[in-house]
Structure 1
Amino acid sequence: MNFKDIFIEDKDFANAMKDTILPFMNGKIQDGYFVNTDGLKLHYQMMINPAEKASIVISHGYCEFSTKFTETIYYFYKMGYSVFIVEHRGHGFSDRQVDGFSKVYVDRFENYVKDFNQFIEKIVIPESRTKHLYLFAHSMGGGIGAMYLEKYPKVFEKAVLTSPMIRLVTHNISNFVAAIVCILSYLPMFSKRYLPKHHDYDHTFKYPYCSAMSKARYTYQYNEREREPHYRTNGATFAWIREALNVSKKILKNAHLIEIPVILMQASKDTLVMGDAQERFCQKAKNCKLIRFEGSKHEIFNATDEIIQDYYSKIFDYYEN
C-alpha cells in the first residue's frame, strides 16, 4: 500500500476521524494493564495486524496519552504493522504517584525506561506475531527511547526518534537557578509541588499557541482532554524537571552504545527541545541520520499537510527498506 492513498488532509480530518478511523479501529484495538515492579498498574493499547510485517512500539511524550496517537496507530496498522503503546507512569490511565490528574511526576527518569522494558517483555514480545520490533518515540518519549536503546541495544531493529527530548529548552534559566531547583526537588515538601507558572489543567484552547500546526488535529486532541479527565496532565513538578534536566548528560554520554540504525526527525521551529543536543546525539550514535523539517513546530505529525505527508513517507521508507 502507498501511504499517500490513506493520508488524511487537515480539511478532512474531523470527518475522517469520526467516520473512518474510529469505526475501523473499533474491535481491533485492545486495552490492557500490567503491573510493574514498583506495583504501579500501567495502561496500554495494542492493535495486532494478522499480516504483521513488524511490531511498532510507541513511546509518547510529556503530558500525552494513547488516543493522541490514534491517527498514527491507524496509519501504522494500515501499512501492515502491529502497534503497541503504553501510557507512561503518571499519564493517561496509568497509575500516578501524585494526587489528581494534572501533575507530572517521576522520581527517577530511569523508571520510565524500566517500565518500558517491562511492557516490551510482558506484552509486546508475547503478543507480536513476528520477532521484528521497531521503535517510534516522540519528545519525552524520545528521551526514554534513546536511553532504552543505550541500555538494551539489541531489542529493536530500527528506531525513529521524533523531536526527541535529548535536552530541554530552558529559555533564560541560568545554571544557578537550575541548580537551586534541583536541590529543592529533593526536599519532600517540594518534590511533588508544581514548578512556578505550572498549574492544574484549566480547559484553555491553546491553538495556535501550541506545538501543533494542524488546527483539526489539535482540536481532536483538545476534545479528548475535555472528554476524559485522565488525559489532563498539564504541569511539571520539581522532581520531574530535575530528572528532565539531568537526563541530557546521560543520554549524550552513552549515545555511542546504540547499535541499530536510528532516524532522528527534527523540527526547525521547535521551542521545547534543543536542536543542537539532537545533532550531538546523532553524531555520537553509530548509525544515526538526522532529517530536518523546515517550518515545522515540535509535533511534526501535527504540522501542515505537506510536512505530515513527507514525514510519514520518510518513516515508512525507512521501516520498509
Structure 2
Amino acid sequence: MKQPDSQHQRPADDTPEWAEFFKTQVEPFWEQQVLSEYFTAFDGIQLHFAYYKHSADAPLVVIAPGRIESALKYQELFWELAQQGFSVAALDHRGQGLSARLTANHHQGHVDNFDDFVRDFSDFTEQLTSLFGSVPKTLFAHSMGGTIATIYCATCSHPYNKLILSAPMFSIETGKVPYWLARWVVAAGACINRYLAKPWYFFGMGDYQAVPFEENVLTHSKQRYQTFRRVYDNVAEVQLGGPTFNWLYEAVSAAMKAQQLASDVHIPVILFQAGNDQVVSAAGQKKVAAAVTREYFRFETIEGASHELMMETDRFRQPVLDAIIEETRELVNA
C-alpha cells in the first residue's frame, strides 16, 4: 500500500502554510484528476457525483455527505486518500450540491420522502460498481449521510466492507424544546404544508447565508471553514439554505428508523460522536451504541469536537482520518 511521502505531507490547519497547501496541492488535484458525472435517478432527476480513480485495483472510499454538502466540500479528503493509493467517490444527494433541486426555490433543503435518498444511494453504488468493479470498499458517511448509509446497509444488498459514521443524524438537536414537542410541531407543519401550499421553510429558516466563522457551530478550524465558505460563495449552484417542514419531518422519522435498523448492519462499523455537537444530538447515537452489541461495532467520542469532523481542526479531525485510512488499508492486507 502506498504511503504518503515527504512531498505530500499536509501542514497543520492552524499554520499559514495550510492555505498555500490547499491552493497549490488540493485545488490542482481536484481540477485535474477528479472527474464529475451525472446519472438519472429513478424518478428522472439528475444526480451529480465526483470521483477519483487511483488504479484499477485500488480500494475505494465512498463518501455519503451530510445536508447542504457537496462533493466539493471534501476536496481535502479526496487529496489525502489519493496520497494513500485509494480511489474516492462522493454523491451529491438529491436537492443539494450540483444535483437537481426539488422545489422552485433552489435554496430550500427539501425532500419528499427520505427513502428517496436511500434509493438514490443504492443506484449510485451501482454506478460505482460499473466504474470500479469489485475492489474493496469503505463507506464513510457524515450526519444525514450517516442516516442514509445506515438504512441502506441494513436493508439493501450492498458491496461495502466497512462503514465509518461521522456524527450521524440518529436524532436532531432541539435545544430547549422537548424532543416530543419538536416532533409534534414538525409533523403538524409538514402535514398542513403538503395539502395547502408549496413547501415552506421551517420556522426561522431561509435562503443561503454565509455565517461568519465566529458564529459558526460546525468547526474550530478557521482556515477550513473559510475555505469551505469561499468554495460555496464562488459556486452559487451548490448554495443551500435551511430545511423545509417536510425535510425535517422526514429526517426525524428516518433518524428513528436508523436507530432501529442499526443492529441489522452486518459489516464492521465505527461510530464517531462529536463531543460538542450542536447540530445533531448525542441521544440517538448513544441509543445505537447501547443497542448494538456486535464485537465489530465501535463507538468513539471525540471530546470537544464540533459537528463537522472532517472540517475540524487537526486534533479533532485526525482520529477520523486515521480510521478511514487504517480500516481501508486492512481490506487490502486481509
The one-character-per-residue Cα deviations of 1:34-64 (angstroms, maximum 9, x if unpaired) are 0011111001111111164311111000111
Confirm or deny that 1:290 pairs with 2:264.
Answer: no
Whole-Å separation in 2 of the counterparts to 1:305 and 1:74: 16
- Structure 1 position 2, deviation (Å): 4.5
Confirm or deny that 1:66 pairs with 2:75.
Answer: no
- Note if contact 2:49-2:91 (Cα within 8 Å) is conserved in structure 1: yes
Instruction: Tell me the residue number matched to 2:20.
Output: 15
Aligned length: 320
One-letter identity of the residue aligned with 1:124: L
- Structure 1 position 130, deviation (Å): 4.0
Q: Is the partner of 2:32 in helix, strand or coil? A: coil
Shift in alpha-carbon separation, 1:118–1:129, aligned structure 2, 3 A = closer
One-letter identity of the residue aligned with 1:214: S
Q: More deviation in 41-50 or 166-175? A: 166-175
The one-character-per-residue Cα deviations of 1:50-107 (angstroms, maximum 9, x if unpaired) are 1643111110001111111000111111111111111000001111111233110011
Whole-Å separation in 1 of the counterparts to 2:28 and 2:112: 39
Instruction: Tell me the residue number matched to 2:165.
Output: 161
One-letter identity of the residue aligned with 1:194: Y
Q: Work out which of the residue numbers 207, 220, 227 in structure 2 matches 1:200.
A: 207
Instruction: Tell me the residue number matched to 1:261.
Output: 268
What TM-score results when the alignment is normalised by the length of structure 2?
A: 0.90
Instruction: Tell me the residue number matched to 1:55.
Output: 60
Q: Work out which of the residue numbers 83, 101, 106 in structure 1 matches 2:106.
A: 101
Q: Is the partner of 2:287 in helix, strand or coil? A: helix
The one-character-per-residue Cα deviations of 1:184-205 (angstroms, maximum 9, x if unpaired) are 2123335610011101113342
- Structure 1 position 13, deviation (Å): 2.2
- Structure 1 position 255, deviation (Å): 1.6
One-letter identity of the residue aligned with 1:156: Y
Whole-Å separation in 2 of the counterparts to 1:43 and 1:118: 12
- Note if contact 2:208-2:239 (Cα within 8 Å) is conserved in structure 1: yes
Q: Is the partner of 2:246 in helix, strand or coil? A: helix
Shift in alpha-carbon separation, 1:242–1:283, aligned structure 2, 3 A = same
One-letter identity of the residue aligned with 1:117: S
- Structure 1 position 302, deviation (Å): 2.0
Q: Work out which of the residue numbers 315, 323, 326 in structure 2 matches 1:317.
A: 326
Superposition RMSD in Å? 1.9
Shift in alpha-carbon separation, 1:266–1:191, aligned structure 2, 3 A = farther
Whole-Å separation in 1 of the counterparts to 2:47 and 2:158: 24
One-letter identity of the residue aligned with 2:298: K
Residue pairs, 1:118-157, within 5 angstroms: 118-121=123-126, 123-152=127-156, 154-157=158-161
- Note if contact 1:154-1:259 (Cα within 8 Å) is conserved in structure 2: no
Q: More deviation in 304-313 or 245-254? A: 304-313
Whole-Å separation in 2 of the counterparts to 1:251 and 1:87: 20
Instruction: Tell me the residue number matched to 2:247.
Output: 240
Q: Is the partner of 1:103 in helix, strand or coil? A: coil
Whole-Å separation in 1 of the counterparts to 2:43 and 2:305: 38
Whole-Å separation in 1 of the counterparts to 2:281 and 2:46: 32
Whole-Å separation in 2 of the counterparts to 1:166 and 1:8: 34
Stretches of structure 2 lacking an aligned partner (at least 5 in a row): none
- Note if contact 2:94-2:100 (Cα within 8 Å) is conserved in structure 1: yes
- Note if contact 1:33-1:41 (Cα within 8 Å) is conserved in structure 2: yes
- Note if contact 2:10-2:21 (Cα within 8 Å) is conserved in structure 1: no
Confirm or deny that 1:179 pairs with 2:184.
Answer: yes
Whole-Å separation in 2 of the counterparts to 1:117 and 1:262: 19
One-letter identity of the residue aligned with 1:320: R
- Note if contact 1:200-1:234 (Cα within 8 Å) is conserved in structure 2: yes
Residue pairs, 1:81-96, within 5 angstroms: 81-96=86-101
Q: Is the partner of 2:149 in helix, strand or coil? A: helix
Instruction: Tell me the residue number matched to 1:303.
Output: 312
Q: Is the partner of 2:99 in helix, strand or coil? A: coil
Shift in alpha-carbon separation, 1:2–1:276, aligned structure 2, 3 A = farther
What TM-score results when the alignment is normalised by the length of structure 1?
A: 0.93
Whole-Å separation in 1 of the counterparts to 2:260 and 2:130: 32
Instruction: Tell me the residue number matched to 2:233.
Output: 226
